[in-house]
Structure 1
Amino acid sequence: MAHIDYFTITLSPFAYLAGTGLEEVAQKHGATITYKPFNLMQVFEQTGGTPPAQRHPARQAYRMQELARIAKRNDLPINLKPAHFPTNAAPSCYALIAAQDAGGGDLGALCHSFLRACWAEEKDVAQDDVVRACLEQAGFDPKLADSGLLAGAQTFEKNTEEALQRNVFGAPSYVVGDQVFWGQDRLSYLDDYLSEIG
């Protein structure tokens, strides 16, 4: 059975625009997924990436055009300038990690709820009430927002180090063995690869 390590952050617009594509590909191939929220800014610093706000205006403008085009193609609502971006992704990332450890709910739904909160619902995923509501809606105990903080922080750092070791430099990244598929537009390549390895 194939396994996908999903390196993501709960603020990535491109992770949001992937919708449920990863989960659909995994289900098609009977693959398992480990959600690995990580510190994207730290990875940018160490791999030569540039945060969106520091990019050349031409790149910033193109990014906005791309987000709008992808959202339209995937029939997903999007606010190109959300009220709470950037914000502190740690609380929602830690909650996703804690939920994965606890089990009992729908991790894909939880990940998407955080992304949707930022990019379509004008909510701040750094706020406890938003994190708790997303946990509850996905079938998890909302108290995980508190109880999972320490373990979540530790795993978040481990995920960041692992991302660097495995040549991950952006989000979303889908990793199978030594194969890295970066971006929501590479899900079809991931699908092909899983077909090849059976």
Structure 2
Amino acid sequence: MNASQNKVVQYFFAPHSPWTYLGHARVMEIAKKTGAQIDVRPFDLGKVFSVSGGLPLAKRAPQRQAYRLAELARWSAFLQVPLNLQPRFFPVSPEASAKLIIATRLAHGVDASLTLAHAIMRGVWAEERNIGDEETLAQIALDAGFDGRQLLKTSETASVQAEYDANTEAATAASVFGSPWYIVDGEGYWGQDRLDFVERALAK
């Protein structure tokens, strides 16, 4: 039996994060390779920033903003993942898309929610789509093979909102301060550039 079959990766993420997009396919591959399960946890990054000292992009110093663009370009080229450095629809509110991902997990399971999450992230960062727009979200879900309108209705329910809030509270309790954030055996790893360490933790 694979040693990681009973292990879980808690995957805290905001679906509008380019770093989450760059690492999303890889964390799925690592989980498949090691037999680990992924606990999908979309959360409110803005609320986490407010209690952890993080700043939204527009409020960061110019040199930090410039370096962010350089790093995104480097990682996009290295991973061969297409990425628009300055997409048309960014900044964008991630709440509707995060709750749509939760609704998809509740209706169709983890794998389906991960598939939709990837489609949403690709929509922002490679396809110039506005994930803050409900019609666009419904179409992205439809393109991914789901009933987008029904999932949107579900995403507006109290149970989905409660899970979104609980994910945000859990992120704060776990000292999460960025996206993506992975937790294995109680240890946190910030950023897609730490996925090698995540894989090693799952292999223990």
If the length of structure 2 is used for normalisation, what is the TM-score?
Answer: 0.92
| Rounded Cα–Cα distance in structure 2 between residues aligned with 1:64 and 1:139 | 33
> What stretches of structure 1 move > 6 A for 4+ residues in a row?
none
Q: Give the gaps of 5 or more residues in structure 1.
A: none
RMSD: 1.3
- The yes-or-no answer on 1:53 pairing with 2:58 is yes
Match of 1:147 in 2: 154
Tell me, what secondary structure is at the counterpart of 1:123? coil
Aligned residues: 196
Contact persistence 2:43–2:164 (CA under 8 A): yes
Residue identity in the other structure for 2:87: P
Contact persistence 1:6–1:36 (CA under 8 A): yes
| Rounded Cα–Cα distance in structure 2 between residues aligned with 1:133 and 1:192 | 37
- The one of 120, 126, 143 aligned to 2:132: 126
Match of 1:24 in 2: 29
Match of 1:170 in 2: 178
| Rounded Cα–Cα distance in structure 2 between residues aligned with 1:36 and 1:138 | 20
**% same residue:** 37
- The one of 80, 83, 100 aligned to 2:85: 80
| Rounded Cα–Cα distance in structure 2 between residues aligned with 1:139 and 1:181 | 32
| Rounded Cα–Cα distance in structure 1 between residues aligned with 2:176 and 2:45 | 10
Please list the CA deviations of residues 24-56 of structure 1 after superposition, one character each: whole Å capped at 9, or x if unmatched: 111111111121111101101101111111111
Tell me, what secondary structure is at the counterpart of 1:91? helix
Structure 1 residue 159, shift from structure 2 partner:
0.5
Structure 1 residue 4, shift from structure 2 partner:
1.1
Q: Give the gaps of 5 or more residues in structure 2.
A: 1-5
Contact persistence 2:154–2:160 (CA under 8 A): no
